[in-house]
């Protein structure tokens, strides 16, 4: 059986934030990708300070809305720069973006192991 980890984010304090897959056929700029939307939803609920920082960054980069950043990796870079780790959707191998701490790496490993039988 193939090992597979659902896509998402690992927070700096090692919580897993699941993301929905990004549709293969979509129009860029009409909606955020699965990871982007999961990140925005999570920080909106748990870290309003980061929402304000992300909105400030969007303004600095010349975007009027977060939706306009779709396809630019702005949200992904923002999250990674703040210690979040992105888990990619590749079903063939574990895809990690960012610089996980030892605790985050252990959390990713545990999450990966827990999905082996699914």
Pick the residue with more confidence: 55 or 88? 55
pLDDT at 77: 97
| Local structure of residue 79 (DSSP, 8 states) | H
Query: Could you report the per-residue pLDDT of 89-118, keeping only the tens digit for each?
Result: 776 777 899 999 999 999 888 877 766 655
Report residue 52: phi and psi, to 5°.
-65, -40
Gap between the terminal Cα atoms of the chain: 9
Q: Is the pLDDT of residue 45 over 90?
A: yes
Indicate the domain borders of the chain: 8-18+32-85
Q: 4 in helix, strand or coil?
A: coil
Cα distance between residue 97 and residue 71, in whole Å? 16
**What are the distances in angstroms from CA 51 to CA 4, 39, 113?**
30, 10, 32
pLDDT at 83: 98
């Amino acid at each position: 059986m193939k090992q597979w980890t659902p896509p998402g984010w690992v927070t700096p304090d090692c919580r897993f934030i699941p993301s929905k897959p990004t549709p293969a056929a979509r129009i860029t700029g009409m909606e955020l990708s699965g990871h982007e939307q999961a990140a925005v939803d999570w920080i909106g609920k748990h870290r309003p300070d980061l929402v304000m920082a992300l909105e400030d960054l969007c303004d600095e980069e010349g975007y009027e809305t977060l939706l306009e950043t779709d396809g630019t990796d702005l949200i992904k870079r923002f999250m990674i720069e703040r210690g979040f780790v992105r888990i990619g959707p590749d079903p063939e191998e574990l895809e990690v973006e960012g610089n996980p701490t030892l605790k985050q790496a252990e959390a990713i490993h545990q999450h990966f192991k827990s999905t082996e039988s699914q």
